[in-house]
Amino acid sequence: MLWGIGTIEGRVKDLYNLIKDPENAILSVLKDKKDVVIGISGFGSAGYPKLIPDVIAELADKGRIAPKITLLTGASAYQVDQVLGERGLIVRRYPYQFSPTMRRLINSGKVEFHDIHLGEWPQYVRSGFLSSVVGSLDLAIVEAVKVDSEGIVPSMSVGTIDAFVSEASKVIIEVNPDIPEELAGIHDIYIPGIPPNREPIPIRNVNDRIGESRLRIRRDKIAAIVESHGHDRGGDVGEPGPVERRIADNLLSFLQNEMEAGRIPREMLPIESGVGVVQDAVMSAIAEAGISGLKAWTEVAQDSFYKMVAEGEMEYISATSLMLSPSGREFFFNSIGEFREVTVLRPQSVTNDWEVIRRLGVIAMNTAVEVDLYGFVNSTHVMGTDIINGIGGSGDFARASYLSIFITPSTRKGGRISCVVPMVSHVDHVDHDVDVVVTEYGVCDLRGKSPRERALEIIENCAHPDYRDGLLSYFEKAVRETGGHMPTLYDLALSWHKTYREKGDMREAIS
């Protein structure tokens, strides 16, 4: 057990008498409860509670509680999904996940999962849109740097904690003294109202602060404060290989061309970068090309951003989560005073808000699992059936952005899967929300083009050479046989996926 009383005294101040041991804290809320709805902090595997979920698991192991949990998070909370999921304690899950265990449970039908736009999720919770299915929120568990009667200073993410704290009957706060107190001041808590009481979100620049540095909480809601320890896991996205670097180069050339044509202003627009090695490579390529004044308006700040800040290549970062690797965290904490001045962590109801994304003119870069001839994108489901993580913020950014770019390698699994297919097996982003597709072979700019024009361009510019003839042959046959605005062969549209499932190689479908 990692908890103790005393270490966090200076971080709790006038709420000192609310400190409890974690078992009592949990039992005070969950004892004899069967169906429970729990909302936890955590976004991009950053800022999740490190202690209480483990103790819930222990108490369940001992037979002292037997909850059926509906688990709500900001986005992913890897460790919590693992520890509670492995024990079969979770029956429902919203709005996103990123854990092998949870993925298996969802895909086998054992956990009911509803994948929801992350920008819409906090309002979804606060408007009671889940209430007819799961009832009301019993408990919120929030990791904090400190807390007192002025409010909670969140830890490495904000996510949806504002909505969970507002809606939950009780709140347990984990104060984690391993996180430097100097993080305080990085957060900007502004809570958009619920219609008809919603005002314009007054952000005009990436670095505007519009809220408070703490999340207010009613003292009578706090069931307990506990001391927790440890750091977030994850955050290591790896090094880019040659394919990632070619994708980055292609994307960079495209952006430079857009700037020359005046379609992206000289001062550059803020960038949203999904999490991953390709995005890292892209950000590096942009910085190395000498495009100055870079700002990130995104969900998750990664290691690479702070390298760019240190090298003068990145001006400002607005995110809802600081997802850092162990070395990235050390780098960040070592200069926390400096980095805090160029970072703001906001609720995801602000970072992912369509109003603000649209106003700022964000350039959105997200990853596709597969794209099709007409520009539809699957970003969540392998072979159309099995969910990987969830739509996350990609739908918020793709639709509301100034320019929506999807990147993908042309193939996966050593060439056995083509990422350009006749028809995507699952649609997350309709063609209306996809401006540009980039692979290591090149760029397809869909803007202003008819579906038939896009098909020819995406085959020529983006598909892997092994699959180009197959795609062209499908397309030409579809034009002949069904015609129409989007020619489609009902028998063959999903045949590549069927072949992969049966034979393990899409190339078998076109031989």
Q: Which of residues 425-464 bind its own copies (CB under 8 A)?
A: 425-433, 435, 445, 447-450, 452-453
Binding residue for its own copies, selected from 17, 312, 491, 511, defined by CB under 8 A:
491
Which CA distances in Å does 57 have to 38, 86, 230, 302, 505? Answer: 14, 9, 18, 30, 41
* The pair of three-digit structure tokens given for residue 36, joined into one six-digit string: 């429970």
Which CA distances in Å does 261 have to 162, 266, 295? Answer: 42, 10, 21
Site residues (CB under 8 A) for its own copies, limited to 99-128: 106-109, 112-117, 120, 124, 127-128
DSSP track, 47-66: S--SSHHHHHHHHHHTTS--
Do the Cβ atoms of 142 and 154 come closer than 8 Å?
yes
Which one, of 350, 27, 44, lies nearest residue 187 by Cα?
350
Cβ 501 to its own copies shortest distance, Å: 7
Burial profile 239-260: b = 16 or more Cβ within 10 angstroms, e = fewer: ebeebbbbbbbbbbebbeebbe
* Residue 292 sits in the site that holds its own copies (CB under 8 A): no
Cβ 227 to its own copies shortest distance, Å: 34
CA dist., res. 417 & res. 244, Å (int): 17
Cβ 457 to its own copies shortest distance, Å: 11
Per-residue x/- mask for its own copies, residues 340 to 369, rule CB under 8 A? -------------xxx--xxxx--------
Cβ distance to its own copies smaller for residue 416 or 501: 501
Burial profile 394-421: b = 16 or more Cβ within 10 angstroms, e = fewer: bbbbbbbbbbbbbbbbbbeeeeebbbbb
Site residues (CB under 8 A) for its own copies, limited to 227-286: 261-263, 265, 267, 269
Stretch that binds its own copies, among 140-148, 310-318, 335-343, 424-432 (CB under 8 A): 424-432
Biggest distance spanned by C-alpha atoms of the chain: 76
Stretch that binds its own copies, among 57-65, 210-218, 240-248, 377-385 (CB under 8 A): 377-385
Residue with tokens 């076109």: 510
CA dist., res. 150 & res. 491, Å (int): 63
Residue 438's H or E segment, with its range, is strand 436-438
Site residues (CB under 8 A) for its own copies, limited to 461-490: 479, 482-488, 490
Site residues (CB under 8 A) for its own copies, limited to 152-171: none
Cβ 450 to its own copies shortest distance, Å: 4
Cβ 358 to its own copies shortest distance, Å: 6
Q: List the catalytic residue out of 120, 143, 244, 299.
A: 299
**Is 330 annotated in the active site?**
no
* Residue 207 sits in the site that holds its own copies (CB under 8 A): no
User: Residues in contact with its own copies, total (CB under 8 A)?
Assistant: 89
Where do the DSSP E strands lie in 90-179? 90-94, 112-113, 139-148, 151-154, 170-175
Cβ distance to its own copies smaller for residue 196 or 290: 196
Residues involved in catalysis: 299
